[in-house]
A and B are shown apart, each in its own frame.
Chain A
């Protein structure tokens, strides 16, 4: 097997070198872009390179490794040797992976070294930022295995040859977008790699034939190719709808985008909410309020939904750059002049490090005691930092106010049994809001006439109890329509376009002393925006797999059904596909169990199930039976209709066989 590995290394080194050079050039550009933002290895350009470029390099290497041996009779030279096909495959894979790792690790390693060097990155280099890139390297091995499978399998249609890479692409996209845990990412990548490698192994050892593979290799290939077919068909359907829309065949339909929650306080103190019925305001009982123009002007400040509490850092803000708004420019001292500044929160040190963007120079660090120059180390924050926004830095217990990293001062400490979730500041209102799980604290300036923010003196906080708590996926908008009252609005947060389980909106008013004076509950109204029309063409929508019904749950499921699925066409299409599988399955499948399995799969996948079956299985050749006149498969010795055997070749009287010596019978 060593010889196979050496041969693969030597044979494909030029491909690897070319890919390495291409990735290197791409890396130079990506690094130059991302080093300015100071994001380093977690920058968007490097992410695009490692996610797409590494996968592309893996796929190309996998393809060429097999295709080179498929040309000009080389297959016979490769395969006929005293080594099992599995070991030959293992040698190829090991050689290919060595090349792949060299191809991607050289540019990544050089980029890492460059970033590690001081003054190259406007931020501290953190080895943890390498972890997502290592996940991308693992992802590239999945694409490599998909490349092997693409090249090794026999494909009836040219386009179906590429199905494994389509499914590999979606698999990598889903993992990188949907998984935050490094260990889980690695586990899922390894599982995907196993599936794609088994499929490639089966195709390689069987010479590409699907039927002659062991069951587990066929199952892996079915997943591999089937997923690719489902994705491709749906992408093509989407493209078709867009193309048809240019021809005026489709119709536009408004889609429900989000819930609309808009509240105002009437001059009488009543809570009003926006009604779509007449594009005006209703009161809490749903009665129309005509003089809604007498509502009080209200500036609100939104606090984030505390989703980061459930994230990988358990409420700590992600390592990296926080809101740059307040730190963008600052005259640090006379002789440095104006600079572009960035702060970088470092988990391990619990300090915020400040860098100058253009020179990538380390300016100093920020801790609870304030800003210190580079040669001094500040005390770390006592607890992990949860929020660093505008002039506020909040840990679990304390809220600090700073202005351009100077005049750091603690302005609030939460009671011992409470933990700060979020904090925000309204500079116009001269207010600071601090939210814990059970209370909202409002800090009001004792000297609102002060011009410089650092001169503000904060009074004792007002406490407003949060009777509803602060559940995930909620926004808390805090408003102050007049000096003697506050308004608290709890609304739903739509995350990534997926509506979370909807709760009613809660709107409360509180007096200046913090007592709740009014509380209403309103079900949010769906909003329809004509500006987000979407072209629709139901006959194409029916290619959606019915099993998607079970993927979505909650209110979005009904929306999905009504908007995208068009139940009846999909059901008819699925049923027809299942009938087609039953009717033509015998032409593709060797056993009746196979027909059943594909019928069930087609009921779950719709028309894509039928297409996946046709993409995977070779269509059986049929001949007309001389005995009964019906079509019979060529691989069965007996006709399935009349049990007649295939006739022997016609005797011509010219045959010369030495039967006496047993050379040939008959």
Chain B
């Protein structure tokens, strides 16, 4: 029976020397989902992906990809997995058509129409040399090479890194166009939260090598709340609240972002005696930034400048 999970990890851990890059990650990626893996630079996303693809040996723990141990991926399983690596590595001296020939020779099924469609979408000429095309076209070519064999699982490591907004949008459209309809699973690591919000239905956040979030996007958004408080005088220091992600003080204003707020959270906030208290809507980007930023109380740059001048 086909498993519901295309990727499963169990306490997956990787150390580089004594530095822990991925700490006991336990993650399941459901079949058919577009799963966004989020985190700051160096948080362990690429390491996790490389372990999943068997390119890096886990220090501890295990992982399966399409039901197979990631350390011993067979060619048959690799055929079912497409991988767009960070920076879109290609063989630069090859022309686009040569790369297609090269890639096609490894796959028994090759959707040439799909490949051509994506090339058109990115305005790529088959005679263009891979080393001389733009970054956006490079990303498009990488995507076309990976999608043409029609993989069951697509793993993309920061595909929109370094792309201008137009190229990013084009890439996104291609991704949505091609993958959504086919019901493929996508594991996508990205920093562009706007894009993620458009395509992802599941989100996982790795913060300093530890997995903190793994949930459907809607559930995640529902579990992170923000309150905007205004006080008669200077805003008081941030209260101690369970799940406090971020507290930003700016003059009379205090903004609190809280994960998993309990029922009595409003009472706790009201105890601060604010002049006004309002729960404000939170975008996915705001929620993720709150997770990935500094914990606890933050003073706005403006407030910080004012305070420094006061001291001076």
CB of B76 within 8 A of CB of A82, answer: yes
CB of B83 within 8 A of CB of A80, answer: yes
Closest to B219 in A: A658
Give the distance in Å from the alpha carbon of A130 to the alpha carbon of B105 in the complex. Answer: 40
Closest to A209 in B: B57
Give the distance in Å from the alpha carbon of A621 to the alpha carbon of B21 in the complex. Answer: 13
Given contacts A3-B106, A648-B24, A663-B215, contact A654 B15 (CB under 8 A): no
CB of B28 within 8 A of CB of A7, answer: no
Main secondary structure of the interface of B (DSSP, over half): mixed
Given contacts A621-B15, A634-B59, A654-B260, contact A11 B215 (CB under 8 A): no
CB of A657 within 8 A of CB of B214, answer: yes
Complex interface: stretch among B86-94, B112-120, B175-183, B192-200: B86-94
Interface presence of B299 (CB below 8 A): no
Given contacts A3-B102, A83-B75, contact A77 B90 (CB under 8 A): yes
Interface residues of B in 1-55 (CB under 8 A from A): 4-5, 13, 15, 17-18, 20, 23-24, 26-28, 30, 50, 53, 55
Interface presence of A216 (CB below 8 A): no
CB of B213 within 8 A of CB of A76, answer: no
CB of A666 within 8 A of CB of B28, answer: no
Min Cβ gap A225→B in Å is 20
Interface presence of B282 (CB below 8 A): no
Interface presence of A516 (CB below 8 A): no
Given contacts A74-B91, A77-B91, contact A663 B106 (CB under 8 A): no
Min Cβ gap A81→B in Å is 5
CB contacts (< 8 Å) of A2 on chain B: these are: 105
Give the distance in Å from the alpha carbon of A6 to the alpha carbon of B15 in the complex. Answer: 37
Give the distance in Å from the alpha carbon of A72 to the alpha carbon of B213 in the complex. Answer: 31
Closest to B11 in A: A637
Interface presence of B56 (CB below 8 A): yes
Given contacts A79-B55, A207-B56, A621-B17, contact A657 B106 (CB under 8 A): no
Interface presence of B216 (CB below 8 A): yes
Give the distance in Å from the alpha carbon of A76 to the alpha carbon of B155 in the complex. Answer: 12
Given contacts A652-B212, A654-B245, contact A84 B53 (CB under 8 A): no
Interface presence of B289 (CB below 8 A): no
CB of A656 within 8 A of CB of B212, answer: yes
CB of B91 within 8 A of CB of A664, answer: no
Give the distance in Å from the alpha carbon of A465 to the alpha carbon of B245 in the complex. Answer: 108
Main secondary structure of the interface of A (DSSP, over half): loop
* Chain A 39-73 per-residue mask, 1 if CB under 8 angstroms from chain B, else 0: 00000000000000000000000000000000011
CB contacts (< 8 Å) of A653 on chain B: these are: 242-243, 259-260
Give the distance in Å from the alpha carbon of A11 to the alpha carbon of B79 in the complex. Answer: 24
Looking at A73, A646, A655, A662, which has the most chain B CB atoms within 10 Å of its CB? A655
Given contacts A656-B224, A658-B214, contact A623 B78 (CB under 8 A): no
Given contacts A646-B60, A653-B260, A654-B260, contact A73 B87 (CB under 8 A): yes
CB of B55 within 8 A of CB of A82, answer: no
CB of B26 within 8 A of CB of A664, answer: yes
CB contacts (< 8 Å) of A498 on chain B: these are: none
CB contacts (< 8 Å) of B211 on chain A: these are: 664
CB of A664 within 8 A of CB of B245, answer: no
Interface presence of A635 (CB below 8 A): yes
Interface presence of B291 (CB below 8 A): yes
CB contacts (< 8 Å) of A656 on chain B: these are: 212-215, 219-220, 223-224, 259-260
Interface residues of A in 1-31 (CB under 8 A from B): 2-3, 6-7, 10-11
Please classify how large the interface on chain B is, using the bins under 10, 10 to 19, 20 to 34, 35 or more.
35 or more
CB of A666 within 8 A of CB of B212, answer: no
Interface presence of A665 (CB below 8 A): yes
Given contacts A207-B55, A652-B212, A653-B242, contact A72 B89 (CB under 8 A): yes
Min Cβ gap B43→A in Å is 13
CB contacts (< 8 Å) of B5 on chain A: these are: 662
Interface presence of A337 (CB below 8 A): no
CB contacts (< 8 Å) of A81 on chain B: these are: 78, 103, 106
CB contacts (< 8 Å) of A636 on chain B: these are: 60
* Chain B 58-86 per-residue mask, 1 if CB under 8 angstroms from chain A, else 0: 01100000000000001110110101011
Interface presence of A549 (CB below 8 A): no
CB of A7 within 8 A of CB of B91, answer: yes
Closest to B106 in A: A81
Interface residues of A in 629-655 (CB under 8 A from B): 634-637, 646, 648-649, 652-655
Closest to B15 in A: A634
Give the distance in Å from the alpha carbon of A75 to the alpha carbon of B224 in the complex. Answer: 40
CB of B56 within 8 A of CB of A649, answer: no
CB of A84 within 8 A of CB of B75, answer: yes
CB of B106 within 8 A of CB of A83, answer: yes
CB of A80 within 8 A of CB of B78, answer: yes
CB contacts (< 8 Å) of A6 on chain B: these are: 102
CB of B60 within 8 A of CB of A663, answer: no
CB contacts (< 8 Å) of A655 on chain B: these are: 212-213, 259-260
Given contacts A635-B59, A656-B212, contact A665 B26 (CB under 8 A): yes
CB of A7 within 8 A of CB of B102, answer: yes
Interface presence of A527 (CB below 8 A): no
Give the distance in Å from the alpha carbon of A646 to the alpha carbon of B22 in the complex. Answer: 13
Measuring CB to CB, which residues of chain B are less than 8 angstroms from any residue of chain A? 4-5, 13, 15, 17-18, 20, 23-24, 26-28, 30, 50, 53, 55-57, 59-60, 74-76, 78-79, 81, 83, 85-87, 89-91, 93, 101-103, 105-107, 202, 210-216, 219-220, 223-224, 242-243, 245, 259-260, 291, 295
Q: List 30 A-B contacts (CB under 8 A).
A: A3-B101, A7-B91, A10-B93, A11-B91, A72-B87, A73-B89, A80-B81, A81-B103, A81-B106, A207-B56, A621-B18, A623-B18, A635-B59, A646-B60, A652-B212, A652-B295, A653-B242, A653-B243, A654-B243, A654-B259, A655-B212, A655-B259, A656-B213, A656-B214, A657-B214, A658-B215, A663-B27, A663-B28, A663-B202, A664-B26
Other than the given A207-B56, A656-B213, 10 more pairs (CB < 8 A) read A2-B105, A73-B87, A76-B55, A77-B91, A80-B81, A646-B60, A656-B212, A657-B214, A658-B219, A663-B214
9 closest A-B pairs (Cβ-Cβ)? A82-B79, A73-B89, A3-B105, A654-B259, A76-B85, A649-B210, A82-B75, A658-B215, A634-B15
